[in-house]
Structures are given as C-alpha cells and as structure tokens.
Amino acid sequence: MTTVRKIAFAYAAILLVVAGLNYIPGLTDAEGRAFGIFALDIYDDLLHLASALWAGIAAFASGRAARSFLLYFGILYLADGLLGLATGSGYLDLGIITYGIQDLPLGFKILANLPHITLGGLAVVSAFVFRREA
C-alpha cells in the first residue's frame, strides 16, 4: 500500500473520530462545545462524516484517488480554516452565510480554525510530496 493511501486512511479515521466527538460523554461543555472550543452541530458532524467516507473510499480505490482526495480536501479545508481565521466563520458549514463576520478574539479564532488549517495544509503537502506514488 502506498504512502498516499495510508495517509488517506489516516484522514478517514481522524475524521470519523471528529464526527463522533459530540457523542462521547465528557468531551463537551455545558454549552455543547467540544473541548470548550469547537461548537460542532449536526451539519459539522455530517460534513466530517462525508469527508471521512470520501477519504476511506479514495484510499481503498487507488493511489491516484487518494492523492486527489488529499489535494482537493486539503484545498477546501485549508481555505475554510483561513477564512475562519480572518472572519470568525468558515464556508464549509455555511457559517459565513449564517453568522457573517464575527468579532472574536484572535486567540480563539486561531484555536478554533487550527484543525482545518493543519489538516488541510498537511493534506496538500502530502499530495505534492508523494505525487509520484499515485
């Protein structure tokens, strides 16, 4: 199995865990925020579940499909995280439409968007570093 396929499988596992965070007792606070930061709702859960399925199917299908997943997923999630960092709202969950630009502390915006920036950035880098394997 190629490295890009292994990475895509890892993304599938990570995204499945994220999709289930709201349903693990003790991980959400009284306001429903996972770890006191991430206000995940059913739309976020479905987005993460769909992304996990995409990753798993791509990893299972072929190295080329896994690389394509990493590239396109990475671009989408990285851009969502950067928009969230700039405006306080992302676009993948339609937050920019629903909530608009939010006046949130910079530290909070960094913590809230770091997962998408990290996952997206690492996916794009992986797609380019391991492009010959696909």
pLDDT of residue 9: 98
What domain count does the chain have? 1
Domain that holds residue 72: 3-133
pLDDT of residue 92: 86
Phi, psi for residue 122 in degrees, rounded to 5: -65, -35
* Cα(52)–Cα(14) distance, integer angstroms: 8
Alpha helices in the chain, H assignment, sequence order: 3-19, 42-61, 63-87, 95-98, 106-129
Q: Tell me the pLDDT tens digit for each residue of 90-121.
A: 898 888 888 899 898 999 899 889 999 999 99
pLDDT of residue 36: 62
Per the CB < 8 A criterion, the answer to whether 126 and 68 are in contact is no
pLDDT of residue 126: 98
**Regions of the chain where pLDDT drops below 50:** none
